[in-house]
Amino acid sequence: MKAHELRALADTELASRMQELLKEQFNLRMQKGAGQLARPARVKAVRRDIARIKTLMTERKAGGQQ
């Protein structure tokens, strides 16, 4: 997902999307360990999406304290 798409989501939607991505990341790691990973590029994309969401959540948290 793009950052501007994530900014449009509510905090609860971001949290649920984060949980989905963490589960997907786990499944991809298991597939990689078993040698059954079909799309290796997806690992990198999921990791970056998780980072985007974490960054956005941190920005919102910091913005609310000022």
Q: Give the CATH number of the domain where residue 8 resides.
A: 1.10.287.310
Domain membership of residue 21 as a residue range: 3-65
Per-residue pLDDT tens digits for 12-54: 999 999 999 999 999 999 999 999 999 999 999 999 999 999 9
Euclidean distance between CA atoms 54 and 48, whole angstroms: 10
Nearest to 14 by CA among 64, 51, 53: 53
Per-residue pLDDT tens digits for 46-55: 999 999 999 9
Question: Which band of pLDDT confidence, cut at 50, 70 and 90, is reported for residue 63?
Answer: confident
Domain count, the chain: 1
The tokens describing 2, both together, are 């793009």
Handedness of CA 2, 7, 8, 10 (dihedral sign): positive
Question: pTM score, two decimals?
Answer: 0.88
